Amino acid sequence: MRPETRTSLSENPILRLTALRETEAVMFTGIIEGMGRVTGATPQNGGLRLDIGSDFDLDDVRVGDSVAVNGVCLTAVKVAKNDFSVDVAPETLSKSTLRGARIGYRVNLERALRLGARLDGHLVTGHVDGTGKVTAKRPVGNALLFSFAVSEAVSRYIVEKGSVAVDGISLTVNACYPKGFEISMIPHTAQMTTLGSKKIGEEVNIETDIIGKYVERFTRHAQGHKEGGAVDKTLLAKAGFM
């Protein structure tokens, strides 16, 4: 085995990444708990107040708690039984499909992960990277095969057999391309989420795996690379990842 020459937390990007994962507040898992429906959409100084009725019990949600709405982390500002309200900032509207939310709009919902709970999906922050568009949808065996178009700024962090959150749903990437990727969805997920009813041409929220972003940032800073350059085997080896 190659001897490890970087042992301090400040020098070894792997140790720094591990420490970050241990201290970072994990928000969501990408395992959708149920769906909801927008019952009110009120513009507010460039933002939007959304009232949402949930299909499942929200007894443990309080004002100030985080809820992922179609993969977007939002703060509950009002809670009454299975209804809650959130304020969506202009920046969030510009980066997500919530800008098109209207009364009757169906959304995926997930409450924030509690410390000590099982992590069945993958680490999802609720900070979407942007939107994608459904370009293909067809049955393959018992599954639905989806293809999505995304920008290169998003696709660079998507890897084959890695994880991606689509409208808040934790999914495995079947294949990825410079400007797109594919996933397979089992019948249960299609039935329990809004993605099963999405049509070709419709938009979805995309959040890539946060670990890849941190690896890239650490390796660049360690080697003095400029943002936006290629992350190749040479760079990863110099940074201690290979």
**What is the C-alpha separation between 235 and 228, in angstroms, rounded?**
13
Is 84 catalytic? The answer is: no
Is 155 catalytic? The answer is: no
CA distances from 3 to 11, 90, 119, 242 (A): 15, 50, 33, 12
- Looking at every residue in the chain, the average pLDDT score rounds to 84
pLDDT of 224 reads 61
pLDDT tens, residue order, the chain (242 aa): 333 433 444 444 444 443 443 444 548 988 999 999 999 999 999 999 999 999 998 888 999 999 999 999 999 999 998 999 999 999 999 999 999 999 999 999 999 887 666 667 677 889 999 999 999 999 999 999 999 999 999 999 999 999 999 999 999 999 999 999 999 999 999 999 999 999 999 999 999 988 878 777 777 666 665 555 555 556 556 655 55
Tell me how crowded residue 192 is: count the other CB atoms within 10 A of its CB. Answer: 18
Is 176 catalytic? The answer is: no
Q: Which of 29, 54, 66, 193 is catalytic?
A: 66
- In order of their start, the domains of the chain are 34-111 (2.40.30.20)
pLDDT of 24 reads 44
pLDDT of 122 reads 77
Is 66 catalytic? The answer is: yes
pLDDT of 82 reads 92
Q: Which of 41, 73, 101, 176 is catalytic?
A: 73
pLDDT of 213 reads 81
Q: Which of 39, 112, 125, 127 is catalytic?
A: 127
pLDDT of 18 reads 39
Tell me how crowded residue 169 is: count the other CB atoms within 10 A of its CB. Answer: 26
pLDDT of 119 reads 67
pLDDT of 95 reads 93
Q: Which of 28, 148, 181, 218 is catalytic?
A: 28
Which residue(s) pair with 76 in the sheet? 86
Is 89 catalytic? The answer is: yes
Query: 3-state class of 34 per DSSP?
Result: strand
Q: Which of 18, 42, 75, 197 is catalytic?
A: 75
Is 5 catalytic? The answer is: no
Rounded to 10°, the helix 210-223/13-23 angle is: 140
Paired tokens of 24: 């970072």
pLDDT tens-place string over residues 85-109? 999 999 999 999 999 999 999 999 9
pLDDT of 228 reads 52
Q: Which of 172, 197, 234, 237 is catalytic?
A: 172
Phi/psi region, residue 203 (left: phi>0; alpha: psi -120 to 50; beta: rest), is: beta
Is 73 catalytic? The answer is: yes
